[in-house]
Structure 1
Amino acid sequence: MPDSFSLREHAKWLLTDTFGYADFRKGQWEVIENILQRRNTVAIFPTGGGKSLCFQIPAMMMFGTTVVISPLISLMKDQVDSLVKKGVAASFFSSSLSEHEVTRRIREMENGRYKIVYIAPERFQSETFFSALKKVHIPFIAIDEAHCVSQWGHNFRPSYLKIRDFIQAVGDPVVGAFTATANRKVQQDIVNLLGLSQCRLFLSSFDRANLEFRVEDPANPSLYILNYVKTHPGKSGIVYAATRRNVENLFFYLKKYGIQAGMYHAGLAGEQRSRYQDGFLNGEISVMVATNAFGMGIDKSDVRYIIHYNMPISVESYYQEAGRAGRDGEKAVCILLKNSDDYKLNKFLINGNYPPVKVAEALFRRVRRRQTRGIPSEMLISRRMGGASMRESALRKIVEYGYAEIRSGIVYATEKKHFTLTQKEIDLHKDVEMEKLDAMQRYLAEKVCLRAYILRYFNEKPARERCGNCSVCLRNRGQDEGKLMNHMLAHIFGK
C-alpha cells in the first residue's frame, strides 16, 4: 500500500478490503480520526452504530498491540474469530483458557504476534498477567461496554475500576471508551473513573428513526408470537425471553407449527449454539428464540423484528436488545409484550444477584485458606451456608470484586488478603438496579410517546412530542380521529 495514503484513505482501504464495507457510517470516521491523532475518546453510539470498527481500524493502523477490554467472554471470542477469518492477528484472554494456553498466548503477545488482544477486566487481578502486559508496546486501549465502570450504569462491573491503574501502568496509550447506553451521569463517571479528563466526547443520537416501538397486551403471548411470525414470512426476527425454560417452551411451540426456529441460551452445548447461530446468520433459520446472551456482536443487519416475551430488567437492556433490529436502516419493529408476572420475576432475579455479604465473606475465607491450590467451583458452592443459588451469586460477587478468580472451573485466591466489601455497598448497587427496573415498568404503562420516553431516559430531548408510529401514538391518533369524527357528525346533525 503506498506510503502517500492519507489517514482517511488508509482507514477507508481497511474498511473496504478487510471488513467489506463501502463507506463509513455517520460519526465513525470522526471517532477513528480522533484516536489516530492520539486523543482520548468517549464514543456513545446506539446499538448497531458500528462501535467495533471505531477501535479495530485504528488498532490495525498503529504500531504495537492494541488491548480491547470487554466484559463478555462469548462476544470476545466471536469478535476474535471474526477478525482472524479476515486475516487480522488477534487473540483473547479469559477465564475459559487453561493456564498452559494463557502462558502460550502471553509469550506470543510479548513477541509482538498480535495486533489486537481482547481481555476480560478480571484478568487485571493477576499480577503475573499485569506484569506481562507491561512488557508489550500498547499504543491504544479500547474499553468496550464502558458503562460497566459506573455504579449508575447497567451491568456495573467492579473490575472495570482497575482499568485506570492499567492505563497508568502501561505508559501513555490513547484511550477510547465505547458504549451504546449511557445517560449524562454515566458519561461523567466514565470520564472521571477512567481518568480521561482530556478527552473528546462523541455523542450520537439515541433516536433510531427506522424502529417502530410497540407495547402489546395479548391474552395469549405465545399465540401472538406465532401469528406474528406466520404473517411475516421470510423476515428475520429475534424473540427474547428471560429464562431458559421460556426459551425452550417457545422454541418447541414454534417448531410444532412448522416455524424454522432456532434457540440460544447459556445452557446449550457450544456446538448446538453455534449451529443455530450460523443457521440464523445464513438465513436457514428465520426466527431465533433466545435469552439476552444472544445478539452481542452478531453481524446481521436485516433483522426485521424483535419481540420481547418478557420485560427486560432495565431501559438500557431493552434499548440495547431492541436495537439489534433494522441495522441496515430499513423499517423494523420492536414489540414488548406485557406480562403481569415480569416485574416480580425481575425483582426476584435482582435480589438473587445481591447475596448477604456474610455469605460472600465466608466463601472468600474458604478460598483464602486453600491459597494457591484452589477449589473446584462446584465444591465451593455446595457448602451448606445459604441456598445453592445464593452461594453461586456470592461466588460471582467475590470474583467481580477481585477476591477470587476462576480458571478452568477452579476458584483461586487473588492477592487481596482482606475482605472489605460491605452490605451497604451491595445494597446500593441493588437499589440502583431496582430504580432501573421501575423505569422499565413505567415504559410498559406509558400513555405518551414511547420513543419520547426512551429519549428522555437517556437525557435526549425528542424532536417532537409524538413520533407518530409507536403503539401509543397510533392509539392516540385513532382516538383523536374518532373524537374529530364525532365532533363533525355532531356539527352536521346539530347535536
Structure 2
Amino acid sequence: MTEVGAECERVARQALGLTDLRPGQLAAMTALARGRDALVVMPTGGGKSAIYQVPALLLPGPTVVVSPLIALQRDQVEALRERDEEAVSLDAGTPAGERRTTFESLRAGETEFLFCAPEQLAKPDVVRDLAAAGPSLLVVDEAHLISSWGHDFRPDYLRLGAVAEALGRPPIAALTATAAPPVRAEITERLGLRDPMEIVQGFDRPNISLSVRRMLDDPAPDIVATVREETGPGIVYTAVRKQTHRLSDLLTDAGVRAAPYHAGLRRAERDDVHGRFMAGDLDVVVATSAFGMGIDKPDVRFVLHAEVPGSPDAYYQEIGRAGRDGDPARAVLFYRPEDLGLQRYFTASVPDLETLTEVAQAVAEAGAGTDRKTLSTRTGLSPRRLTLLLDLLERTGAVRLSARRIEPAPDAPAPGTAADRARRLAERRRDVERTRLEMMRHYAETDDCRRRFLLGYFGEQLTDPCGNCDTCLAGTPERRQEETGPFPPHARVQHRTWGPGEVIQRGEDRLTVLFDTAGYRELQLDAVLEQHLLTETSPS
C-alpha cells in the first residue's frame, strides 16, 4: 500500500470510525488525496460520503460540496458536526450576515466543509468569495443530474465545469448512485474531469424483488391494495403532481399515513413531509421524482411506480431507495403501455430556431462579453431556459462560457448557423432520450429475468436468472450459456447507418447496442449476421 493510501486508512479509522473500507473506497480516496479527479458510482449507503471526507481532511483548504437538496445538505452538515467537523450550508435563505461569517470562516481555515446547491454557484459573488478561500476539493453529489434533460432538469449542473475553473480547478469528486456508460461519459465531459479514477461498484441489489403488473385500467385501486399489504414505510412514485395528491388522499382514506410531495409545494411543506417520513411519522410518501434523492432511510420496504418512468436510469435510481438495510424489499411497476405517451411528451421539447438565433445574436453583439443577468433581461428568457440554450450554443462553438462571463467564441459561426447546429444537437438528444424510454418498455414487457435486463443496461452481465423477480418466479427465464462468437458485451462496433457504438447485452438471438449518437437499439442477431449490419471495430 502506498504512503498516501495508508494515510487515508488512518484518517478513515480515526476521524470516521471506519475500520473496514468497502471495495473501491480506498482507491477513490487515494486518487483524490493525490490531486486526481474521481468518478464514483456506488449505491446510496455504499460509502460515497467517506470517499470525499477523508481526502478533505488531508488536503489543505476547504471542501465545496454541491448537493441538489437543501434537506440533504442539512443532514450531511449535522452528521459532520456530530463528529466535531466544522461544516456549514449555504442557500437562498441564508442571511447576509451569516454569509459573510461563513466566507470569513472558510478563508481563515476554521470551516472545512461548505454545502450548497448548484444554483448558489451561479452567483458571481459566491464564486468569487469561494475562490478567495482556496478550496482544495470540489464534490459534485448526484452527478448524474448533469445528464438529466427531462422536466426535472437542473441546468446549473451544466455550469459546474466552468465553476471549477473559477475556483482554481481543485480536484473534482463526481458521485452518483446510478450512471449507465453514456451518463458516465457525459459527466466526465461536462465537468471537464482530467484522467479520472473511475470506480463503479455494486449495481446489483439482490434483496429487492422486482415485478411488473400489466394494467388495463386505473392502477390506483391496486396501488392502495398493495400498500395495505406491506409492512414498513414506502414510496409511491407518479409522473405528475396532481396524482400525488389523489393517490395520497386514497391511501389516507384507507387508513395509511400518507402525504404528497412534489416541487410545486412550498419549501416548508416539502421539509415537513421529508422530516415526518424520516422520523417514522408517515408510512408512505406519494411523490414525483423530486423526492428521495440522497434520502438515506435504511428501512424503506417498498417502492411502487404508478406509471412507467422515462428510463431505466431513473427507475433504478428510484427503486434503489428501498432495502438499504439489506433486508428484503419490493419494487413494483404498474405498467400501462399508454403511459409511455406521457414520458414521450416530457422529452418532446426542442428549442426553436428563432430563440436560439436571438440568443446567439445577442452574444455576438455583446462583443467583449456580457453576464447572464443582462442577457436574460435582453432576451426575456428565464435563467433556467437561458442556461440550456447557452449550453447548446457552446457545444456548437458559438459562445464561450465561464463562471462569470459569456462571450463570442473565436471564429464563431454566424448566429443562424449556430442556431441550426444547436437545434440539431437538441433533436439528437431528444431521440437518444426516447431510446432510453424504449428500453424501459422492454423492461416492462420482457419475459426474461428483470434483474438481468437492468444490470445489462448498466454494463454488468448476469448469466443466471436472479430468482427474485416475477419472471423468475414464473419460470420464464433460462440460464444463459457463456456467449461465444462475434459481438460479445463491451465490443466496439460500427453500424452502416447509426455509426459507432458498444454492445451492452448479447443474448442468444439479439443484441442491445448503445450507439454514440443514436442511443440504445435492440437488433436481431440473425439479421445482423445475414445482412452484415455491424462490423466489430475493437476487441471486447
Aligned to 1:447: 447
Instruction: Select the residue among 240, 249, 261 that pairs with 2:237.
Output: 240
After TM superposition, the structure 1 = structure 2 runs for residues 15-414 of structure 1, keeping only pairs within 5 Å, are 15-16=16-17, 24-72=21-69, 75-76=72-73, 78-80=75-77, 83-84=80-81, 87-93=84-90, 105-121=102-118, 126-149=123-146, 160=157, 162-168=159-165, 170-171=167-168, 173-191=170-188, 194-218=191-215, 219-233=217-231, 235-352=232-349, 354-359=350-355, 394=385, 397-398=388-389
Q: Which moved more, 1:154-163 or 1:261-270?
A: 154-163
Query: 2:471 corresponds to which letter in structure 1?
Result: V
Alignment coverage as a number of residue pairs: 450
Alignment counterpart, residue 406 of structure 2, candidates 395, 406, 416: 416
SS at match of 1:295: coil
Question: Structure 1, residues 315-356: CA drift from partner, whole Å, max 9, x if none?
Answer: 10100000000111111111111123321111112224x342
Which position in structure 2 is the counterpart of 1:462?
Answer: 462
Query: For 1:414 and 1:171, how far apart are their aligned partners in 2?
Result: 14
Residue type of the partner of 1:63? P
| Deviation for aligned residue 1:246 | 0.5
Structure 2: how far apart are the matches of 1:31 and 1:342? 40
Q: Deviations over 1:122-168 (max 9, x none)?
A: 55555544443332222222222334455999988665555444445
Aligned-partner SS, 2:348: helix
Query: Are 1:448 and 1:472, in contact at CA under 8 Å, matched by a contact in 2?
Result: yes
The higher relative CO (CA closer than 8 Å, separation ≥ 6) is in: 1
Q: Is the 8 A contact 1:357 1:426 kept in 2?
A: no
When residues 362 and 341 of structure 1 are mapped into structure 2, their CA distance, relative to the original with a 3 A threshold, is: farther
**Identity over the aligned pairs, expressed in percent?**
32
Tell me the CA shift for residue 468 of structure 1: 1.6
Give structure 1 stretches of 5+ with no counterpart.
382-390, 404-412, 481-495
Cα drift, residue 209 of structure 1: 1.3
Corresponding residue SS for 2:245:
helix
- TM-score of the superposed pair, with normalisation by structure 2: 0.71
> 1:313 and 1:86, CA in 2 relative to 1: closer, same or farther beyond 3 A?
farther
Q: Structure 1's 396 and 308: CA in aligned 2 closer, same or farther, altered over 3 A?
A: farther
Could you list the runs of 5+ residues in structure 2 that have no partner in the other structure?
Answer: 1-5, 395-402, 409-414, 480-540
Displacement of 1:222: 1.4
Contact 1:450 1:472 in 2 (8 A): yes
Paired residue secondary structure (1:303): coil
The structural deviation recorded for 1:255 is 0.5
**Distance in 1 between the 2:477 and 2:266 partners?**
48
For the residue of structure 1 that corresponds to 2:322, the secondary structure is coil
CA gap 1:12/1:318 in 2 versus in 1, 3 angstroms: same
Alpha carbons of structure 1 residues 433 and 73: separation in structure 2 relative to 1, 3 Å: farther
Deviates most, 55-64 or 153-162: 153-162
Secondary structure in 2 matching 1:10: helix
- Residue 187 of structure 1, CA deviation: 3.1
TM-score w.r.t. length of structure 1: 0.77
TM-aligned CA deviation for residue 76 of structure 1: 4.1
> How far apart are 1:470 and its partner, in Å?
0.8
Matched, 1:472 2:471: yes
- The answer to whether the 8 Å contact 1:263/1:289 transfers is yes
TM-align CA RMSD:
4.0
8 A Cα contact 2:155 2:388, kept in partner: no
* Letter matched to residue 222 of structure 1: A
Secondary structure, aligned partner of 1:348: helix
